[in-house]
Structure 1
Amino acid sequence: MKPIRTLKISISGVRGVIGDSLSPTLLTRFAESFGTYLNSGKIVVGRDTRTSGEMVKHAVFAGLLATGCPVVDLDICPVPTIQLMVRKLGARGGIAITASHNPVEWNALKLIRSDGCFLNSYQAEELLSIYHQGDYRKARNHEIKAVKKNSQGIPSHLEQILKHYGPVLWKGRRLKVAIDCCNGAGSLMTPELLQALGCDVVSINTTPDGIFPHPPEPVPQNLTDLCQLVKESGADVGFAQDADADRLAIVSEKGTPIGEDNTLALAVKFLLRQEQGTVVTNLSTTQAIDDIAQVFNCRVIRTRIGEVNVTETMKKEKALIGGEGNGGVIFPRINFARDSMVGITLVLHYMALTASPLSTLVEELPRYYFVKHTLPCPSFRVRSFLNSLKEIYFREKLDLTDGLKILRPDSWAHIRSSNTEPIMRIVVEARNEETAQAWAREIIAMMHDE
């Protein structure tokens, strides 16, 4: 077995490459650690469609059963479905087997606590301490029970959404919706949801076999086929999901990707125009969220990067809506999780409410331009580089919550080290593309000079 340092470990969970760092032995040990950490309580397990999922699932079962945990198997379903079912079943926790937007050779364990949210950094450290010590609870024979299969995950998730939002009509007719589920977990739920919402569905890549037809991250360069489908079918809108269906990308009726950050912006504007409430998002999400909230006299709170940082702040502040600029929408009234199915529902109802084409709704959003870069940076260089930037920009407004964020009236730059890789992430947003590109080049040049 390779040492633990070959894995990527963050507050989001543990991930690695099948046949390399993510071996059955290691998976079983992590499951044993989690079962011990949760005092042998009930644990809900689900997975995405990756072909390695069956192997990973049974390795996880072995570790959980060995510590005496009752195990509920949801099998293939979206990650937000697993999170919802942890709460619904009163489980002590859950494990989502998915590497999300990573390539198909990757897989991972995302660890969920009893409230359906992921472990925070302190809880993850406690779990890793148990893992490294290797002192796992050992269940006696009579404590080991059979795994219980549960097929109610997706039906329960659908019921929860449809309890709040029913069928939609756009200008008196059914909406035609194109979808690309990347043959991931959304393939089992998204078509059914759209039909329940009264839409006509045209689809590609909805076979849940784990054979990804393109990289599963729902970014513009991976949406070519969906853009073509929207144009050829005359669809009113197109939706794309990643492999575990927590992130949502949108294509307008013109066959154009609208940008990941605009997914959350549309959902926020739809809800705030109906009721006031606090919005929570992370530091790297578009300033458009603040501009929208200001129009409706609502507050925006920014957090560190990571879904759990957003959800914990949402709980504390009793927020109406939150999310992240990667296409993650969190609407706690339905599900306290990044949930692409909830995002789809809110956007369709926004279109119906306004009787406007999707492209018009996007044009009405505040316009900003993003530039994103990643640069290699060993962990020992991170602090010195960030300190150098602080000295250079000391006269400007700085936010040190997570790395360094430099705020200007119509632009900002966020520089931080990755939670999972030895790289620096540089994100710049400005009112025009030239300003964003120029500032990003300036920061990159400083890093090369460091």
Structure 2
Amino acid sequence: MDLPLIVSTSGIRGIVGEGITPEVVSRLAASYATTLRHRRVVLGSDTRPSREMCRHAVLAGLISTGCEIIDIGICPTPSVQIMVDKCEAGGGIAITASHNPVHWNALKLFNENGLFLSHNQLERILNIYHQSLSRVTEGGIKRASFSRLGKVREEHSTFDVHIEKILQGLNVGLIRKKKFRIALDCVNGAGSIITPIFLRELNCTITAINTNPREDFPHPPEPSPKNLQQLSSLVREGRFDAGFAQDPDADRLAIVTEGGIALSEECSIVLATIAVLEEKRGAVVVNLSTTRAIDDIAAAFGCPVFRSRIGERNVVTAMKRHRAVIGGEGSGGVIYPRVHYARDSMVAIGLILQHMAGSGRKLSEIVASHPRYHLIKQYILCAPEKKEKLLADLKEQLKGERLDVRDGIKIIRKDSWAHIRSSKTEPAIRILAEAPTKRGANELFNFIVDKIEMPD
């Protein structure tokens, strides 16, 4: 697009006031609505300051195309996906830029099954959008006549529906018996109200911080260890069994042990995978950038692992193809088909508590017993128009390596790997390197960085 927007199957996002403006958002919403076979749309959002601007713009676009809008308010992204199914809607929109900084916002777009759109579906929306820019008659957007304008109704059952679906997929009795003490950081995001309710349903005693949806994010919103100092201190001083941190739309989870140690977000999918495979053997699907510990754990259970390209849509497609019992991404996203094909931080919390309850061990003891790798995650800023050349030049320099080029460049060695790819959510190139030792990970990371040449 000739606007400063980042477009991927994970959504259409940009900086508010630059790529994300009321005009752009409204036209994108109308273009999306034009592609729907059934014009009932579920609408939810996270808590960013630009929420109301974007919400009203989306409503204008949907109403103008004759949609019936089911407004479920501030809620996690997986709540939107679940309610698309529940309401038999033609699609859904979550207004959220997920882990991006507060000055970003985005539209996450879902189909009639509550799943992210395919590449072809997204391309069709963008074609309609561009046609509407080039023609006075608004091109391919199908506007409704006055008598057929859309209507909005509010739906207040979302939290109950979402929580009940998760509880049906857990051993609730086992978890409730343990009466866990949990510290929670919701980053003042979409999980601020629903997550404490969910934890109380599991008979947990909770102390929650940053649970005011009207306030700004108290720290960088990505749920990575460096951003969890406040939660770590709370857990360490309060003798909790665990600490959990969500991102602004509550689809990703990070964990703090009872000793106040913030774990890599990779641990969320690792722990969830163990919890599921203990109950039911089956295939596991993760993306190309997820820790190799998943392969070791699945092998211990005699289960296969399949890897997909980055992005929830790609993981879900592979999960369905291989009939996976669990899947997700190393960024903290856990997808449990028994609940829904969506990344869901509350599902991850439930599975981790179930595993803790069943094992009878402290969280730190569970983590210490797992295969451990050292994983470096860094990025370099790179303009979108330069990414392709940078990766092509790097691939040429890595001819002697065993490569997987389905999504960027992944170097695969006997006991280590590195993945270099274009970010789908930021103007950046992501670089990941994992090895059994910290030294090995650093050497592999530096090997990559030394070969990267930024195009002119």
TM-score by length of 1: 0.95
2:70 aligned partner, one-letter code: V
Check conservation: 2:67, 2:151, Cα contact below 8 A.
no
Out of 58, 61, 70, which is 2:59 matched to? 61
Partner of 1:243: 248
Partner of 2:136: none
How far 1:295 moved relative to its partner? Answer: 0.8
Q: How does 1:51-130 map to 2 (within 5 A)?
A: 51-130=49-128
Q: Deviations over 1:175-226 (max 9, x none)?
A: 1000000111101111001100011111111112141111111111110010
Per mean C-alpha deviation after superposition, the further-off stretch among 281-290 and 172-181 is 172-181
RMSD, aligned α-carbons: 1.8
How far 1:37 moved relative to its partner? Answer: 1.3
| 2:258 counterpart of 1:253 | yes
Q: What is the CA–CA distance in structure 1 between the aligned matches of 2:38 and 2:178, rounded to whole Å?
A: 52
Check conservation: 1:40, 1:70, Cα contact below 8 A.
no
1:91 aligned partner, one-letter code: A
Partner of 1:285: 290
| 2:325 counterpart of 1:320 | yes
| 2:345 counterpart of 1:331 | no
How far 1:142 moved relative to its partner? Answer: 2.1
How far 1:409 moved relative to its partner? Answer: 1.4
2:227 aligned partner, one-letter code: N
SS in 2 for 1:187: coil
Q: What is the CA–CA distance in structure 2 between the aligned matches of 1:121 and 1:170, rounded to whole Å?
A: 40
| 2:138 counterpart of 1:138 | no
- Tell me: CA distance 1:258–1:62, structure 2 relative to 1, closer, same or farther (3 Å): same
Q: What is the CA–CA distance in structure 2 between the aligned matches of 1:445 and 1:279, rounded to whole Å?
A: 34
Out of 204, 212, 233, which is 1:199 matched to? 204
Partner of 1:22: 20
How far 1:173 moved relative to its partner? Answer: 4.2
Q: What is the CA–CA distance in structure 2 between the aligned matches of 1:108 and 1:170, rounded to whole Å?
A: 36
SS in 2 for 1:273: helix
- Tell me: CA distance 1:168–1:217, structure 2 relative to 1, closer, same or farther (3 Å): farther
Check conservation: 1:323, 1:338, Cα contact below 8 A.
yes
| 2:225 counterpart of 1:227 | no
Partner of 2:9: 11
SS in 1 for 2:3: helix
- Tell me: CA distance 1:86–1:210, structure 2 relative to 1, closer, same or farther (3 Å): farther
SS in 2 for 1:333: coil
Q: What is the CA–CA distance in structure 1 between the aligned matches of 2:385 and 2:343, rounded to whole Å?
A: 33
Check conservation: 2:176, 2:203, Cα contact below 8 A.
no
Structure 1: give runs of 5+ residues left out of the alignment: none
Partner of 1:176: 181
Out of 337, 346, 350, which is 1:341 matched to? 346
2:20 aligned partner, one-letter code: L
Number of positions where the alignment pairs a residue of Structure 1 with one of Structure 2 = 448
Q: Deviations over 1:109-131 (max 9, x none)?
A: 11011111111222211111111
SS in 1 for 2:364: helix
Structure 2: give runs of 5+ residues left out of the alignment: 133-138
Out of 149, 152, 158, which is 1:147 matched to? 152
Q: How does 1:388-399 map to 2 (within 5 A)?
A: 388-399=393-404
How far 1:448 moved relative to its partner? Answer: 3.5
| 2:281 counterpart of 1:276 | yes
SS in 1 for 2:214: coil
How far 1:379 moved relative to its partner? Answer: 5.0
Q: How does 1:399-410 map to 2 (within 5 A)?
A: 399-410=404-415
Partner of 1:425: 430
Q: What is the CA–CA distance in structure 2 between the aligned matches of 1:267 and 1:104, rounded to whole Å?
A: 29
Check conservation: 2:175, 2:202, Cα contact below 8 A.
no
Partner of 1:49: 47
Q: What is the CA–CA distance in structure 2 between the aligned matches of 1:448 and 1:5, rounded to whole Å?
A: 26
2:404 aligned partner, one-letter code: D
- Tell me: CA distance 1:172–1:72, structure 2 relative to 1, closer, same or farther (3 Å): closer
Per mean C-alpha deviation after superposition, the further-off stretch among 219-228 and 12-21 is 12-21
2:328 aligned partner, one-letter code: G
Partner of 2:135: none
- Tell me: CA distance 1:449–1:154, structure 2 relative to 1, closer, same or farther (3 Å): closer
Q: What is the CA–CA distance in structure 1 between the aligned matches of 2:103 and 2:395, rounded to whole Å?
A: 39
Check conservation: 1:169, 1:198, Cα contact below 8 A.
no
TM-score by length of 2: 0.94
Per mean C-alpha deviation after superposition, the further-off stretch among 135-144 and 183-192 is 135-144
Q: What is the CA–CA distance in structure 2 between the aligned matches of 1:76 and 1:379, rounded to whole Å?
A: 31
Check conservation: 2:6, 2:13, Cα contact below 8 A.
yes
How far 1:4 moved relative to its partner? Answer: 4.2
- Tell me: CA distance 1:354–1:379, structure 2 relative to 1, closer, same or farther (3 Å): same
Q: What is the CA–CA distance in structure 2 between the aligned matches of 1:147 and 1:321, rounded to whole Å?
A: 36
Q: What is the CA–CA distance in structure 2 between the aligned matches of 1:187 and 1:398, rounded to whole Å?
A: 42
How far 1:233 moved relative to its partner? Answer: 1.2
Check conservation: 1:303, 1:313, Cα contact below 8 A.
yes
| 2:449 counterpart of 1:444 | yes
1:437 aligned partner, one-letter code: N
